[in-house]
Amino acid sequence: MACIVCGNPQMAGLAGWHATCPACCYESAALTPAINAHTGPEVNEAEREAGLKALRLENFKTIVHYAKKHARPNARRLLDVGSAHGWFLETARADFDVLGVEPDAVVGSRAAARGLPVRSGYFPDVLAEGERFDVIVFNDVIEHIPDIRSALAACRERLDEGGILILNLPNSRGFFYRLSKLIARLGWRAPFERLWQKDLPSPHVHYFNARNLCQLVAGQGFELAEAAELPALRARGLLERLRCAGNVPTLSLYAQYVAIMAAIPVLRMFPSDIIVGVFRKKAAG
Ligand SMILES: [Zn+2]
């Protein structure tokens, strides 16, 4: 199968469903999404929310900062694709007129019930004809979309002149992802499968690094405005996050907590597992 970034043939990866491009390092997975089918193992949604919320909110504040920094001075309309619980909409609505699109009907209606402007369905199908934005954001979403080129083309179409596209996604050069690949080579595949979200309702189908992501997006009529990393681990909310990993005995939980807290400054020396790319729509012609 040809690499979607550079067109070179991909090689077999670390599992039957995993492939890598030797030329640009793009990685893909032949995993099938089943949103709204909920066939995978049930994740305790409330616990997952609590565990991830503190980290997400901090990173979302940084993303709103990027949106304000790079969008035109009078930019107002912001679209959040895959708005999930609506946390990004809540973070951004002080600065923008926000709209969310969420394919998971249950999650989307729960956010809408909290008074957030969320449309249930897929981007760009649920948008009205001619509906356009100054900023489009994908938080942990683009890596789930099989036909990523069509999604990027739709972003270009739905952005006004000089509009900004912000992609926040996992980094294939990240410390934890590379560690999971090392461990998978040694025979234990669980962490690697977890990072691809294998067997969850919406698995990842792409793994990019800053460089091949930029190559793909630039080819769709955008130019890079800023590339950055966001912390994948923060001290705030860490304990809650560890708790939702399952029935871990208390002593072991605190041992993990102390070990990770001590490791955070060291981990900052390695590439983070979360990257963000800010792209500006190039003028036509
Ligand atoms: Zn490639």
pLDDT tens digits along 151-195: 999 999 999 999 999 999 999 999 999 999 999 999 999 999 999
Q: Is residue 96 part of a domain?
A: yes
What is the CA(22)–ligand 1 centre distance, in A?
7
Q: Is residue 208 part of a domain?
A: yes
What is the CA(23)–ligand 1 centre distance, in A?
5
Round to whole Å and give the CA distance between 148 and 195.
19
Residue type, 38: H
What is the CA(218)–ligand 1 centre distance, in A?
14
Contact 170, 273 (CB under 8 A): yes
What is the CA(150)–ligand 1 centre distance, in A?
18
What is the CA(9)–ligand 1 centre distance, in A?
8
DSSP letters along 213-248, please? Answer: HHHHHHTTTEEEEEEEEE-S--STTHHHHHHTTS--
Residue 117: closest CA among 142, 141, 151, 93? 93
Round to whole Å and give the CA distance between 28 and 179.
18
What is the CA(187)–ligand 1 centre distance, in A?
26
Instruction: For the sheet with 274-281, list strands across it.
Output: 118-120, 97-102, 77-81, 133-139, 159-170, 274-281, 222-230
What is the CA(131)–ligand 1 centre distance, in A?
34
Q: Is residue 132 part of a domain?
A: yes
Report the 10 Å Cβ neighbour count for 107: 20
| pLDDT for res 46 | 58
Beta strands 97-102; 118-120: pairing state: parallel
| pLDDT for res 10 | 97
Whole-model pTM above 0.85?
yes
Instruction: For the sheet with 206-207, list strands across it.
Output: 11-12, 18-20, 27-29, 206-207
What's the pLDDT band for 124 if we cut at 50, 70, 90? very high
What is the CA(4)–ligand 1 centre distance, in A?
7
Q: Is residue 247 part of a domain?
A: no
What is the CA(63)–ligand 1 centre distance, in A?
28
E-strand spans in 144-252?
A: 159-170, 206-207, 222-230
What is the CA(137)–ligand 1 centre distance, in A?
24
Round to whole Å and give the CA distance between 66 and 100.
18
pLDDT, mean over the chain: 90
| Dihedral pair phi/psi, residue 51, rounded to 5° | -70, -35
What is the CA(29)–ligand 1 centre distance, in A?
14
Residue type, 72: R
Q: Tens of pLDDT along 255-279?
A: 888 887 888 887 888 899 999 999 9
Question: Tell me, what CATH number does 143's domain have?
Answer: 3.40.50.150
Q: Is residue 206 part of a domain?
A: yes
Q: Is residue 31 part of a domain?
A: no
Token couple for 80:
């959040």
Q: Tens of pLDDT along 229-238?
A: 998 877 667 7
Contact 26, 206 (CB under 8 A): yes
Contact 86, 104 (CB under 8 A): no
What is the CA(43)–ligand 1 centre distance, in A?
34
What is the CA(212)–ligand 1 centre distance, in A?
7
What is the CA(27)–ligand 1 centre distance, in A?
8
Beta strands 159-170; 27-29: pairing state: unpaired
| pLDDT for res 242 | 75
Residue 87: closest CA among 123, 47, 120, 58? 58
| pLDDT for res 282 | 94
What is the CA(37)–ligand 1 centre distance, in A?
32
What is the CA(147)–ligand 1 centre distance, in A?
16
What's the pLDDT band for 41 if we cut at 50, 70, 90? very low
| pLDDT for res 39 | 46
- The number of folded domains in the chain is 1
Residue 36 clears pLDDT 50, i.e. is over it: yes
Residue 139's contacts (CB-CB under 8 Å, 6 or more residues apart) are 56, 60, 63, 80, 82, 84, 88, 168
> What is the domain range of residue 194?
42-234+271-281
What is the CA(166)–ligand 1 centre distance, in A?
22
Q: Is residue 248 part of a domain?
A: no
Q: Tens of pLDDT along 51-108?
A: 678 788 889 999 999 999 999 999 999 999 999 999 999 999 999 999 999 999 999 9
Q: Is residue 137 part of a domain?
A: yes
Round to whole Å and give the CA distance between 95 and 69.
12
Contact 44, 244 (CB under 8 A): yes
Residue 34 clears pLDDT 90, i.e. is over it: no
